[in-house]
Structure 1
């Protein structure tokens, strides 16, 4: 059963209704085959783009939806409850637009952002490298200035949409000044020298293409640098705060989908003359699953409201990502248990949900990294900020 939501506007209610309808009619009939065949559903992203769901958190003046993160994340949830690979893709696309939307010049935004947010283009985010996953400051991809251009060389690992994206937001080193020597570039996918390796063979999210992007003498005009030289890591880290909220919402939606399947099965399956949901032992498992989903949702939306109010939210985003993804792993594991032997077969989607939940604890910064971020924030903890919601201090 879908999540119960309290939404701030009639427009938000309509948006969630549209998302549920698209998920039911466009996503649900495709998800099983696409995941089994490890096929990237590019046409689904075009459908979502035409519906305006790829651009929700960005300004209307540039073709975005102008929605607060509180609403955008609930849209991600609704998609993830049906198809996590697609929900992750929507989050990654939003992440790939962040550098331009937030740090680009007015001219850069006017030139590129409307097309990126229009629904026809799909983005990818290139930060991680094979030797620099949790330590982005150690990246080695180079961007060397050559007249009015930069020439990029290197390889970016674990890139979602690699080989299918229309543009890549790439972090590359422009100097040897450690974390201050990284810059950000917007690279069209058809630029000569850009290529993608075959997709990784993953345990889950098999409908999402993940591969290494290779940059070989890729010439990019200096006008495609976002922000100043050396500002790239700051852009990347700010992007990741938003991306962590996106993945938290995807994890909540994934857990909601697993809970829904488990409850429906428990209502229909009978043992000893009654539905298994009527057995206290199993009812308690389902109750714990529901509590985990609700608490993860509340934590994620609380962090989103801080962002929407313009308040610091980095630590809260890490908490949301940690809580939501750990809870998703527990909920999906319990969903398999509820279905018993059937849960371990591919005749039911809960085994897929369980495989998909695992990576949620890994990408956008492992949950061990989230604990480091949270711990560091606690060292600097003050009394916090009091503010009337949607008002002034």
Structure 2
């Protein structure tokens, strides 16, 4: 599908606003964010000031009304510079998809204006990466009030976001497998329950959180009771999986670019030859380039499938994160080997990209789960067993 003139202009305008934020704020701080495990507050604030946190919000509340293709471009470019910042913004956009569809106007307006950072809070200690099987409870608490109790295992931007799109068991038993809530960050009984000192994405603030008797008004429910899984599959999952693929593409593409600079700019003193003059090095670099270009093509086809309502859109969405997770792991590993001992130095940024890329395989839905989903859809089975719905 050929992009319209308006969409090209919108994309160009968005990327024009993004470039100085990357060059002036995000890129210079990426190493420090990683080294210190520091939440990238300066970068997030700069993105907000540039009007980029409201890209996915509707024009009626002052947002950019951009579709997933333009937003994926933003995530790709952020990931190329700072994986932690990219993941924070990715989760914000995924949660915004729910808030846009079911949230209160005042929160939608605040998101559009860049005054409100939101995120998803799905994974739990009891169900781990099986986000479709929450164990946290929601119970009636007096007139028009609800009590939430849960132990969330990983929440990006924990204690940094202004709200959490929160999953629980349904309020009414049997209503459905899951209900979603919009939980304000200042809710009494909501707290961060641990630190994060991870291998990669060290600044994305992904920490466990608990709700211990968090009381909310009943209208904090997003959608209807028990409909949370359908909302997650219909509104969240396409954005989440596609943006994760864009995240992986940004990491892979930047790793290949860094490897290319190393091969062309490094000369062996005893022979006078550049590293690129060795046929084996050129072959290995070509393989990394081909893998990355193949991922870009597949992501582009997935976006087209979504935009045109193609019959295979659901299958493509499920496939793209699985493909991206494996591709970025292999490409960053290959770039490390190709650059040898130099890749272990912090200043190249390759080892940071290598570490950041490991998250894609294990972030729910994991690569293994996605392979099962793809197999089910491709053979005519429902995405999930009826017991999980």
Q: Considering the TM-score relative to the shorter chain, is it more than 0.5?
A: yes
Structure-1 separation of matches of 2:283 and 2:175: 49
Aligned-pair distance for 1:96? Answer: 1.4
Could you say which residue in structure 2 is the equivalent of 1:189? 185
Structure 1's consecutive aligned runs of 4 or more residues displaced over 6 angstroms after TM superposition are none
Q: Does 1:250 align with 2:247?
A: yes
Structure-2 separation of matches of 1:138 and 1:44: 34
8 Å CA contact 1:69–1:307 kept in 2: the answer is: no
Structure 1 pair 293–176 and aligned structure 2 pair: CA distance change class (3 A): same
Could you say which residue in structure 2 is the equivalent of 1:325? 325
Q: Deviations over 1:306-347 (max 9, x none)?
A: 223345633211211111121111111111112211112323
Structure-1 separation of matches of 2:161 and 2:285: 39
8 Å CA contact 1:137–1:178 kept in 2: the answer is: no
Structure-1 separation of matches of 2:175 and 2:316: 24
Structure-2 separation of matches of 1:161 and 1:348: 27
Could you say which residue in structure 2 is the equivalent of 1:380? 380
Q: Does 1:267 align with 2:268?
A: no
8 Å CA contact 2:57–2:108 kept in 1: the answer is: no
8 Å CA contact 1:20–1:79 kept in 2: the answer is: no
- Out of 166, 169, 176, the position equivalent to 1:180 is 176
Could you say which residue in structure 1 is the equivalent of 2:208? 212
Could you say which residue in structure 1 is the equivalent of 2:357? 357
- Out of 106, 112, 137, the position equivalent to 1:111 is 106
Structure-2 separation of matches of 1:367 and 1:48: 30
Could you say which residue in structure 2 is the equivalent of 1:120? 115
| Residues matched between the structures, number | 373
Q: Is 65-74 or 85-94 further displaced after alignment?
A: 65-74
Could you say which residue in structure 2 is the equivalent of 1:391? none
Structure 1 pair 362–230 and aligned structure 2 pair: CA distance change class (3 A): same
Structure 1 pair 191–367 and aligned structure 2 pair: CA distance change class (3 A): same
Unaligned runs of 5+ in 2: 382-389
Could you say which residue in structure 1 is the equivalent of 2:25? 26
Structure 1 residues 280-291: aligned runs within 5 Å: 280-291=279-290
8 Å CA contact 1:79–1:253 kept in 2: the answer is: yes
Normalising to structure 2: TM-score of the pair?
Answer: 0.91
Structure-2 separation of matches of 1:97 and 1:221: 20
User: What's the RMSD between the two structures over aligned residues?
Assistant: 2.0
Structure 1 pair 176–225 and aligned structure 2 pair: CA distance change class (3 A): closer
Q: Secondary structure at the match of 1:214?
A: strand
Structure-2 separation of matches of 1:103 and 1:308: 22
Unaligned runs of 5+ in 1: 382-393
Structure-2 separation of matches of 1:156 and 1:290: 38
Q: Secondary structure at the match of 1:230?
A: coil
Structure-2 separation of matches of 1:6 and 1:264: 35
8 Å CA contact 1:16–1:78 kept in 2: the answer is: no
Q: Deviations over 1:280-331 (max 9, x none)?
A: 1111111111111111112112212222334563321121111112111111
